[in-house]
Amino acid sequence: MSRPSSAVLRHVVVAAVAAALAVSAAVTVRVPPSRAADPTPSGTRPTVAADGTGIYRTVQAAIDAVPAGNPTRQVITIKAGHYREVVTVPANKPYLTLQGIGSGPSSVVIVNNHSAGTHGTSGSATAFVYGHDFVATNLTIANDFDENSATSGHQAVALNLDADRAVLTDVRLLGDQDTFLVNDSARAYLERCYVEGTVDFVFGGGTAVFDNCTIHEKRSTGGPITAASTAAGKTYGIMFYRSTITGTADNVTQLGRPWRPDAQVLYRECTLGATIRTALPWTDMSGNAWRNARFLEYRNTGPGAGQHSNRPQLSDSQAADYTPQRYLAGSDGWNPM
């Protein structure tokens, strides 16, 4: 067998080197730039920590660092602690997740104390969320303004939600009057959440489903839980599904009142505590008669439940059109359940 010429050998060596370089370049491309820049092992350093052990000390600083127009989900982890600040998720930052990494929702608290007296009702919120597909989990959003300290402007919002397709899981929303505002453009799914307040503490014209949540009236003199302002052309407003309604005192709490004439609210398969006014669980508001609103119940149980002329009920056949999935589907078929 004849030996290859030196020209052939040079060609083989050059080809081999080129192939090795190509492999090396391909491997280099696969290394995530963030890992190369940050030697901290993934998952061990929170994004936000008030004690300085995170990348940022405030939740807002972490949100500000997310690029505008991000096309994929950005997860901001938040270490246990109290964060006294006002947080805004702008409309140009969708797919944002705020994830508490404490032992439970009460371990991570985002709180402020603005009120309607100085900021207007909608402007008083601790958190403003505009970016669609927002997610919050395992944390608390609170407004600790004390309504008893003011002669006017008692409203003090914890969460002002203007984001479509928002999901809140294991979240606490705490306030007095007007705790949670669900704006017209919002659809929200809340699972295993806790919401408390005194008057109209779930309100607005958006669509929200509370699944397996606890809703608590904390004032001993009671008040209405909801103040929906659902537009006449919108079939679905606020729904409490398999949730529990509790209160500080018995027979003092109303299921809701109509902020706008066509308000739509449904309590479906809920456990209604003794705090509910069984004889008249709905009430009028600002000239809007509750009987003209779309207030409904279906298969509720508990000491606060009942069926009579002041408690409109869905029939079994109607109930098929009033499921959580129907509430949330919209025109895009969204189903977060």
Active site (catalytic) residues? 178, 200
Phi, psi angle pair for 255, to nearest 5°: -70, -30
Phi, psi angle pair for 82, to nearest 5°: -100, 130
Cα–Cα distance for residue pair 173/141, rounded to 1 Å: 5
Token pair, residue 316, equals 């079994």
For residue 41, what are the CA distances in angstroms to 36, 38, 151, 211, 287?
A: 11, 8, 53, 36, 60
- Tell the burial category of 97 from Cβ atoms under 10 Å away from its Cβ (0-12, 13-18, 19+): middle
Q: Minimal CA–CA distance to 266: which of 283, 234, 247, 241?
A: 241
Write the single-letter amino acid at 87: V
SS3 169: strand
